[in-house]
Structure 1
Amino acid sequence: MKQKTFFWGHSKRYNDFPTYFKNLFSERVQKVSVDGGFTCPNRDGEKGYGGCTYCNNKTFKPTYCNLENSVTSQIEQGIRFFEKKYKSMRFLAYFQAYTSSYAPLENLIELYEEALRHPKIVGLVISTRPDALQGELLEYLEELSKKVYVMVEFGLESHLDSTLEKINRGHTFAESVWALEETSSRGINNGAHLILGLPGETREDWLNQSRVISQLPVNNLKLHQLQIHKGTVMEKQFRDNPDQFHLFSAEEYIELAVDYLELLNPKIIVERFISQAPPDLLIAPRWGLKNFEFVAKVEKRLKERDTWQGKLY
């Protein structure tokens, strides 16, 4: 029987990032993480102190991202790691740690362009907050996007202002909408990062979030389940009041991911469903699933339910 081809031009039941990237570039492209030595406006007093309640930056920063190493040195170490697996590939410099646009413009340009001078780097991914984009930086990225691949990845985390306040995020959802619209209107690729399972939110909130995000000019979407990490404010909140938290089982989260996908605009490229903190930093939930195993389970469930991204959009 002939396989169904969906809106995004292939038979996978959601608009997946690996296929998109394979079509965008003629060769294998991998992100390589870089720490530019940034902080965040909700850490240094500009918006607040202490950072987001859920955040321990060590959970997603590779060991080679050491501030004693230059941007070039970090890129070289990251490339050596990946080239053990794949000999022929190019890379995107992924400024991932903290708020990677939160510095004077001249400092940012120096860091970004040092990365781009490496012969194997074909673009930038800049992880930041919706409230940390200056007008001049947007203008610079708009021009840069005409020459190389540029993605600005925004931590939205929630569409509810009450949640954003509770997790000490320090910005509103209106600022998230502004940032997505500004980058989109300038031809800069953007991404939205959202956490499912934040305290006080409900299943209906998460499904409504899919509807809300679907109306915005989002290129890429990263989802992940709430995790409790060691060394965070949320760890203490969880220890003191565990009843305030609903941590998903893998099976429950798979079902939620499928329901979320059904409502999601089919134009949005889905980059990720889950996050994986290092075991020594993770308190809960512990699923014992790698990312590719989880994706396979989502794909299996989509097929079992004969559904797909955007079916109910």
Structure 2
Amino acid sequence: MSSSPFKFSCDNKRYYTLNYYNRRNYCKKIYKAVIDLDLTCPNIDGSKGRGGCIFCDGGSGYFTHGELDIASQLKCEADRIAAKHGKNAEFIAYFQANTNTYAPVEFLRSSYYTALQFPNVFGISIGTRADCLSDEVISLLAELNSQTHLTVELGMQSSKEQTISLINRCCTHEEFKSGYYALKKAGIRTCLHIINGLPYESYEDMLETAHEASILNPDAVKLQMLHVIQNTKLAEMYSQNQFRLLEREEYIDVIVKQLELLAPETVVERITGDGDKRKLIAPLWSADKIAVLGGIDKKLAELNTWQGRLYSNKSKPPVKRVV
């Protein structure tokens, strides 16, 4: 058993934070400016399905400015960031809402390069689906990757096919892996998004998803709790008591064990989520982000454990619960 490589990081964390990654590699803090391209998804527009994922309320529009053009959106975000962190603060142009490679390649090219040319843009992050990465899109992303700091974020959510079908992702786990490997072959930094507490998933299911991520060995992951948002299919299921959500301590236990399973060099870009408090139905404890983060730190310290302690890139049975 080795000691934690992050115990004396700039964040004093037992996991590899995005802030530590940025300061270690670029010697500065980097912020995010969110952009909405007003795109859709193949499980919304009917090409694969209707309604979108059961937890989706149409993207991240509550803190974006999708009614504006890209430059105007970035101006709004740049002003917001400058007000808090100074006019010289640099930021990532984050294409977040819905599927940001699901459009004609020339439209995507124009959108990405418009953002890249904006003052103080340090790099670009693109949220998308693994089944929306055609050869032409991969070629464009590889071109972009040669000119800036690029991250592509893929919604993994779960490795369990039954769950993937239930949430109406309309993209199998094998399709997900195919898209992921195409990005890695092109040398593109990739971040996987995992949701804990999805309906009917067991503790072991959630750990198996983290172990699957450890085998894939992405550059980064985002971990978060499932949010029940108003006017979604998930909200309807929740109102009918079709499933139960994790309590805060249960979520913390899952996160700690998932961190143990992940590779130590995988950057943890998010370890809890920010739901729109105006629309959040449950779990209400997730709105207290400081308490959740503090609980994770405390549990890691109590167990004297850290990210990567149980890491293995080989297939193995699910890890049993140890609290």
TM-score, length-scaled by structure 1: 0.93
Q: Secondary structure at the match of 1:107?
A: helix
Matched, 1:123 2:123: yes
How much does 1:29 deviate? 1.4
Matched-pair identity in %: 34
Q: Which amino acid aligns with 2:42?
A: P
Query: 1:162-212 deviations in whole A, cap 9, x for unaligned?
Result: 111111101011122122211112111111001111112100111111111
1:76-132 C-alpha deviation (Å, 9 max, x unpaired): 000101111111311111011110110010010011111111121121100001111
Partner of residue 191, structure 1: 191
Match of 2:172 in 1: 172
What are the superposed Cα offsets for residues 213-249 of structure 1, whole Å, 9 maximum, x if unpaired? 1000311101111121101011111112x1x312111
How does 1:1-20 map onto structure 2 within 5 Å? 6=5, 10=9, 12-20=13-21
CA shift, 1:7, in A, is 7.0
Q: Which residue of 2 aligns with 1:247?
A: 245
User: Which position in structure 2 is the counterpart of 1:312?
Assistant: 310
For residues 136-162 of structure 1, what are the alpha-carbon distances to aligned partners after superposition, in whole Å with 9 as ceiling and x for unaligned? Answer: 111121122122001100011111111
Post-superposition offset of 1:296: 2.4
Q: How do 1:51-70 residues align onto structure 2 when only pairs under 5 Å count? A: 51-57=52-58, 60-67=60-67, 69-70=68-69
Give 1:260's aligned residue.
Answer: 258
- Whichever residue aligns with residue 270 of structure 2, its letter is R
Match of residue 27 from structure 1: 28
AA matched with 1:75: L
State how many pairs are aligned.
306
Please tell me whether the aligned partners of residues 36 and 65 of structure 2 are also in contact (alpha carbons under 8 angstroms).
Answer: yes
After the TM superposition, which residues 63-102 of structure 1 pair with which residues of structure 2 at under 5 Å, given as runs? Answer: 63-67=63-67, 69-87=68-86, 88-102=88-102
Question: What secondary structure sits across from 1:143 in the alignment?
Answer: helix
Q: Evaluate the alpha carbon distance shift between residue 8 and residue 181 of structure 1 in structure 2; reply closer, same or farther with a 3 A threshold.
A: farther
What is the TM-score with the length of structure 2 in the denominator?
0.90
How do 1:203-282 residues align onto structure 2 when only pairs under 5 Å count?
Answer: 203-240=203-240, 242=241, 244-282=242-280
Structure 1 gaps of 5+ residues are: none
- The CA RMSD measured in Å over matched residues stands at 1.7
CA distance in 1, matches of 2:192, 2:94: 15
In 2, the alpha carbon distance for the partners of 1:5 and 1:252 equals 23
Matched letter for residue 153 of structure 1:
E
Q: CA deviation at 1:5?
A: 5.2
Alpha-carbon distance in 1 for matches of 2:166, 2:285: 26
